[in-house]
Structure 1
Amino acid sequence: MPHKFNADRRDKIAKQKYQVTNWPAYNESLRQRGDLTIWVKDEALSLWTARRRTSRGGQPKYSDLAITLCLTLRVVYGLALRQTQGLMRSVAALMGFDIAVPDFSTLSRRSKGLALPSTKSEPQHQVRSIWLSTAPA
């Protein structure tokens, strides 16, 4: 068998063993992995819908801020567009907001012109909160 060919001469690296000493803190850290916290400023909520166009063309229903929030959650949690739509519906319902959520085709179409914030600087599993503000990044 090829994987056992030189087994006696291969370097043996012992597997490191970790021992948990603070079980309550460890259990709490595991619980916090599923925590989702989103803060939405009142100004951002009022800017959810887009301003009316003065030029010819179709009227956008959602602002760039709304599309950016949806697509940021999509990147952070690695979701498909339909799953992102479902997540945003449930978040809006849980927070008690009476807002329309962009559908997956709108997210796909509008994502081409937007610059999304990068999440490559920190691991995705540690991103637990997103701050939505009206200030330009």
Structure 2
Amino acid sequence: MAKPRYKTTNWKQYNQALINRGSLTFWIDEDAIQHWKQLKQGNRGRPRLFSDLAITTALMVKRVFSMPLRGLQGFINSIFKLAQLPLLCPHYSCISK
């Protein structure tokens, strides 16, 4: 059975739909921004710099975009820079542990 072909009549809308396919939007919650860094953990030893939320978020982005860890660190840092947020991505060696 052959695939049906459709005649495009509204080229302006069709072209805009193709352009919108490449659009990428990130929404960062205010609560996530406030809890990005680890507060006090209450245990002995070296304190953690980043919360579990930060590491989990980085791992989700890594999984969605199939990125290596070093590329992920640069990608998330560039998102924060574009959003003008004073945050940093956890180091790739911190994410992998």
With the length of structure 1 as denominator, give the TM-score of the two structures: 0.62
CA distance in structure 2 between the aligned counterparts of 1:82 and 1:107, rounded to whole angstroms: 10
Larger Rg: 1
Aligned to 1:67: 55
Q: CA RMSD in A?
A: 1.8
Aligned to 1:49: 37
SS in 2 for 1:25: helix
Give identity over the alignment, percent. Answer: 36
5+ long unaligned stretches in structure 2: none
CA distance in structure 2 between the aligned counterparts of 1:76 and 1:41, rounded to whole angstroms: 19
CA distance in structure 1 between the aligned counterparts of 2:10 and 2:65, rounded to whole angstroms: 29
Q: Are residue 38 (structure 1) and residue 26 (structure 2) matched?
A: yes
More helix per residue: 1 or 2?
A: 2
Q: Are residue 24 (structure 1) and residue 12 (structure 2) matched?
A: yes
Which of the pair has the greater relative contact order for Cα pairs under 8 Å at 6+ separation? 1
Q: Which runs of 4+ in 1 moved over 4 A?
A: 13-16
CA distance in structure 2 between the aligned counterparts of 1:20 and 1:80, rounded to whole angstroms: 40
2:73 maps to a residue whose letter is Q
1:37 maps to a residue whose letter is T
With the length of structure 2 as denominator, give the TM-score of the two structures: 0.83
Distance 1:83 1:18, change over 3 A: farther
- Per-residue Cα deviation, 1:16-48 (whole angstroms, up to 9, x for no partner): 544333322222222122222112222211101
Distance 1:108 1:34, change over 3 A: same
